[in-house]
Structure 1
Amino acid sequence: MKILHTADWHIGKKLHKHELSEDFELFIAWLCDFIEKEAVDVLLISGDVFDLANPSSEARKQYYRALMRLRKLDCKLVITGGNHDSPSMLDAPQEILRELEMHVIGGLPENMEELLIPIKNKKEETELVIAALPYLRDADLRSAADGQTYEDRLEAIRAGIQQCFENAADLCRKNYPGIPTIAMGHLFAAGAETSESEREIQIGNLAAFNANQFGDYFNYIALGHIHKPQKLNSSIPTYYSGSPLPLSFSERKDNKRVLLLNTENGWEPENIPVPAFRSLLKISGSLEDLELKLRDPGDRKNLESLIEVELTEENYDAAKILQLDTIVSNFELEGFRIVKHRVNFRNRIAGASEIYQEQKLEDLKPREVFLELISRQEYDDKTKEEILSAFEELLGETYQNENL
């Protein structure tokens, strides 16, 4: 039997306000082709189907379109909810989807036997069982009485996660003795490497779950939540498939993948690279460096390349911030778009609260604070006059708007 493990689709995701819907459509087209070519029997999606708990109508349409495309293939689907997903929204069409061989577990059910999904072969024999555990919320794991201190609460969460997986293993052992079992999960496990696109799980990373606490009953643990693909140090094969698409610039160098299990060959999965549909480029340096690099930013894929620009200078200079804004505003190169720019001054300017340590800012006039700030910069008299003039104009507009 062939099982494909993926997770963290994040349908509806925007990268610095740029829609990634086209990326997802290309991924689904590739995924369907792969499933058909390899005759995959089961597709596992381990949480974070959507990027938002209340996804847009377009994101929901993409989800159902993807399901219908996958439905045309002879492949069973098992989908679990993640921390980004709304359990009730995922569970709403549960009964209909089940009739289409699509099993959705949005949140932890009261009857844990509902988590167990038997997978039958062509002879109608149960060949595999999926223990489809979704993201376990705080209310699923402990009561308010479980500990008084912060560390007590964290320990209660870890113990609760462990208990859920132990209960699932006991039910599999009881109801499907001797049948191989895969457990799905959506959580942060100790030792996992994260990216900047991931939101913290439970009470932050301090609630990290030790992978050995999954126990030794399951043949494979199919995890979601961490976008960087990786294997965990555990007594049984435990993997994060990672997100199939880069969801932040910190993931631009990740080798995105899905994982293919062939039970005839064992329980170690095969890495299946997902094609890169768009380039995420990060360009940094001085103004001169940026102007040069932006003439030829880098590779182009099927879709428009997105660029993050970082100006790096030694000393604060308001004129250089203005020049950067001008460069970004005037940037026009077919197939490339700057979606974010920022400034990094190594010798940063002191904030107003640091300058006036013995005075309350509310006791000072805006002009006094601004004069003190620019006096600390190495501007010539003409530049100072221009900056002060611009400040006075902005201040005047602010007062005028307040009086409207």
Structure 2
Amino acid sequence: MRILHTSDWHLGQNFMGKSRQAEHQALIGWLLTQVQNHAVDAVLIAGDIFDTGTPPSYAREMYADLVVRLHAAGVGLLLLGGNHDSVATLRESSALLSVLSTHVYPAATAPKSHVRVLPSRVAGQPGCIVCAIPFIRPRDVVTSEFGQSAQDRQQQLLVAIKQYYQSVYAAACAKRDELAQQTGQRLPIIATGHLTTVGASSSESVREIYVGTLDAFPTSEFPPVDYLALGHIHKPQKVGGHEHIRYCGSPITLSFDELGQNKQMLLVDLNESGLQSVTELPVPIFQPMMSLRGDLGYMTDALPRIAAQAEAGQTVWLEITVTTDDYLADLPARIQKLVEGQPLEVLRIRRERGQTMAQLQDNSGVTLDELDPHDVFERRLGLEEGMDASLRGAITQRYRQVVDAVQLGESEEQGEGTAQ
């Protein structure tokens, strides 16, 4: 049985005002080629399929395109909800997609319902059993109690997640024993997850989850599966040195601090004896990006060289951090003049010393207790030099909508608690 493990696609991402549509479309085409070339039986996406709970229409179209093309190729698809995904959005088409060899798990429900037998592509016989576990939201597994301390809530959530994994694993073992009696074949068991584990290394584009309750789930608390396919962390890595516990990472660069990572997907081979091998498939760079740091003299020399190395028809996205010349009031205009007529686009300009001074000034005499969420956001947004006014306004409006939704949800939960 051969599975292609991937995660954190973030379809529909708006990256500093730029769409990733072309990259994701190219990624789907590349994926289909790999599936054929490597005789993949099933594709597994371990969460964060979409970037937001309300993805744009083109992102939904690409999602449907992936499903249809994999089904036509005879390849199964297993989709797990992530913390960026909307449960309702994934659930709305799950029944229809099951007819197209695609199984969607938006949220944690009854443990037995999360056991899925994946067939091999050619013979159509059972190939492995999956504990198909998506991002586990605290409200799905724990009930808050009045007067609990933060430490108590953290321990309660840890125990609840552990018990949930064990319950699904027990159901998978029962299914394996049942099939073994029928066929004489002992199927391997794999599990999925969308969370941070102890020892995992993340990047700035990874949104923290279980904030204030659980920082990372201990690796030792996972059940003894043959392979654990994880999502949420964008940097590909083995966890704790274990060959069978893997983050595949995001297939495209989702923030400038992810530059230098070797983006990949993982080919996972299993048989009755368990895990046989994990092969890294490097993902091509569909959109070149670079982060530069130095003074204006350095930029004057470096930018033409970068432009000369750009492939025909491609524009390099840049993040520029200016050091000794960061005091210049017309810095953004000077940078833009340097890239005029070049296959270069500056997405972000940072003033190194200016940002440091602004942060120091903000820290003098002002505490977080004196600021509301909107004040904190405005101060942080003010550090972004050269941001287009319309983009700044759109980001601010979106942030206010998110804060209002969170505050409304907290008010409703408090009301329910009072009623109980």
TM over 0.5: yes
Residue 354 of structure 1 deviates from its aligned partner by 4.5
- 3-state SS, counterpart of residue 151 of structure 1: helix
Query: Where in structure 2 are there 5+ consecutive unaligned residues?
Result: 178-185, 367-420
CA distance in 1, matches of 2:236, 2:283: 12
Q: Deviations over 1:62-88 (max 9, x none)?
A: 211222222221211000000000011
What is the percent sequence identity of the aligned residues? Answer: 30
CA distance in 1, matches of 2:157, 2:241: 20
The answer on 1:232 being equivalent to 2:239 is yes
Identify the residue that residue 319 of structure 2 maps to in structure 1. Answer: 308
Identify the residue that residue 247 of structure 1 maps to in structure 2. Answer: 254
CA distance in 1, matches of 2:289, 2:206: 17
CA distance in 2, matches of 1:23, 1:77: 21
Identify the residue that residue 273 of structure 1 maps to in structure 2. Answer: 282
- Higher mean C-alpha deviation, range 45-54 or range 337-346: 337-346
The answer on 1:83 being equivalent to 2:83 is yes
The answer on 1:294 being equivalent to 2:293 is no
The answer to whether the 8 Å contact 2:115/2:172 transfers is yes
The answer to whether the 8 Å contact 1:219/1:236 transfers is no
Identify the residue that residue 117 of structure 1 maps to in structure 2. Answer: 116
Q: 1:198 aligns with which of 206, 218, 238?
A: 206
Residue 331 of structure 1 deviates from its aligned partner by 2.5
- 3-state SS, counterpart of residue 69 of structure 1: helix
Structure-2 change in CA distance of 1:60 and 1:68 (3 Å): same
The answer to whether the 8 Å contact 2:319/2:349 transfers is yes
Query: Where in structure 1 are there 5+ consecutive unaligned residues?
Result: 357-404
Identify the residue that residue 389 of structure 2 maps to in structure 1. Answer: none
Structure-2 change in CA distance of 1:34 and 1:285 (3 Å): same
The answer to whether the 8 Å contact 1:78/1:103 transfers is yes
The answer to whether the 8 Å contact 2:197/2:218 transfers is yes
- Higher mean C-alpha deviation, range 331-340 or range 2-11: 331-340
Which amino acid counterpart does residue 203 of structure 1 have in structure 2? V
The answer on 1:285 being equivalent to 2:284 is no
Q: RMSD of the TM alignment (CA)?
A: 2.4
TM superposition score normalised by structure 1: 0.81
Structure-2 change in CA distance of 1:219 and 1:22 (3 Å): same
Identify the residue that residue 393 of structure 2 maps to in structure 1. Answer: none
- Higher mean C-alpha deviation, range 281-290 or range 137-146: 137-146
Structure-2 change in CA distance of 1:334 and 1:180 (3 Å): same
Identify the residue that residue 344 of structure 2 maps to in structure 1. Answer: 336
Identify the residue that residue 134 of structure 2 maps to in structure 1. Answer: 134
Structure-2 change in CA distance of 1:98 and 1:225 (3 Å): same
What is the count of residue pairs matched by the alignment?
Answer: 351
Structure-2 change in CA distance of 1:348 and 1:125 (3 Å): closer
Residue 353 of structure 1 deviates from its aligned partner by 8.0
Q: Deviations over 1:315-371 (max 9, x none)?
A: x73xx1313433225622442211111101177366388499xxxxxxxxxxxxxxx
CA distance in 2, matches of 1:355, 1:171: 57
Identify the residue that residue 108 of structure 1 maps to in structure 2. Answer: 108
Residue 127 of structure 1 deviates from its aligned partner by 2.7
CA distance in 2, matches of 1:179, 1:132: 15
